[in-house]
């Protein structure tokens, strides 16, 4: 395993930093977020519990995050997890998944890649594709019915060149196997071939 130091950078263009850093973590936020993640995992993997339970917990954790976010320290458990991450494994997995997406979809005339010339060196979290607006919306609805959830990542307040209306993010992160990626791509291809 490769060892990395955790670094961060902050830049202030219009003012100076005047921060009081807290040594403690936001324990209430951490508790709710951990419960939400555990309940989601149980729901997905074992069909235990209700979807609404973890959705409400995520909503509550987001509310807490908005209300009281600044300058908390990372909690010990999260720190230990981060320090054990094999970054090279994650990077390689994502690159393999991205290459599978480009290979499978590059010849489809209904799809344009937002990153046209992927060079194989970038480590993407998702692959943004561009589809005609009504096709993007109908595809996304169809995929949701098949329990395939692909997000739209372009914020509406940054709407530019209709990207918000046409972009769909194809997940490719390390949680997914190449086979899982190829399976959901087959569903997309079948849909595009018939619509």
**pLDDT(1) > 70:** no
Phi, then psi, of 49 in degrees rounded to 5: 85, -175
Structural domain includes residue 9: no
| CATH code, domain with 129 | 3.90.1150.10
Tens-digit pLDDT profile for residues 106-154: 999 999 998 888 888 888 989 999 998 889 999 999 998 998 888 877 6
Residue span of the structural domain in which 31 resides: 27-83
Tens-digit pLDDT profile for residues 89-117: 999 999 999 999 999 999 999 999 988 88
Count Cβ atoms within 10 A of the Cβ of residue 68 and give its class: 0-12 exposed, 13-18 middle, 19 or more buried: exposed
Do 120 and 190 belong together in one domain? yes
Do 110 and 171 belong together in one domain? yes
Do 120 and 63 belong together in one domain? no
Structural domain includes residue 183: yes
**pTM exceeds 0.75:** no
DSSP structural state of residue 158 = G
Do 109 and 64 belong together in one domain? no
Count the domains in the chain.
Answer: 2
Mean model confidence pLDDT for the chain: 85
Do 107 and 185 belong together in one domain? yes
Do 100 and 142 belong together in one domain? yes
Q: Under a CB-based contact definition with an 8 Å cutoff, are residues 129 and 99 in contact? A: no
Structural domain includes residue 5: no
Return the closest-CA partner of residue 131 out of 149, 97, 108, 147: 108
Structural domain includes residue 185: yes
108/119 Cα distance (integer angstroms): 19
């Amino acid at each position: 395993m490769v060892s990395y130091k955790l670094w961060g950078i902050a830049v202030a263009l219009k003012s100076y930093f005047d921060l009081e850093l807290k040594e403690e973590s936001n324990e209430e936020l951490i508790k709710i977020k951990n419960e939400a993640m555990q309940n989601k995992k149980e729901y997905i993997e074992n069909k235990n519990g209700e979807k609404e339970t973890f959705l409400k917990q995520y909503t509550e954790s987001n509310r807490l995050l908005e209300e009281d976010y600044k300058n908390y320290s990372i909690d010990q458990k999260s720190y230990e997890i981060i320090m054990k991450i094999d970054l090279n494994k994650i990077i390689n997995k994502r690159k393999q998944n991205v290459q599978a997406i480009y290979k499978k979809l590059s010849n489809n005339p209904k799809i344009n890649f937002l990153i046209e010339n992927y060079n194989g060196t970038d480590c993407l979290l998702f692959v943004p594709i561009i589809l005609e607006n009504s096709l993007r919306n109908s595809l996304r609805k169809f995929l949701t019915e098949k329990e395939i959830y692909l997000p739209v990542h372009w914020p509406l307040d940054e709407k530019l060149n209709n990207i918000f209306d046409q972009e769909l993010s194809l997940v490719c992160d390390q949680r997914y196997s190449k086979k899982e990626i190829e399976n959901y791509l087959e569903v997309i291809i079948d849909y595009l071939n018939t619509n």
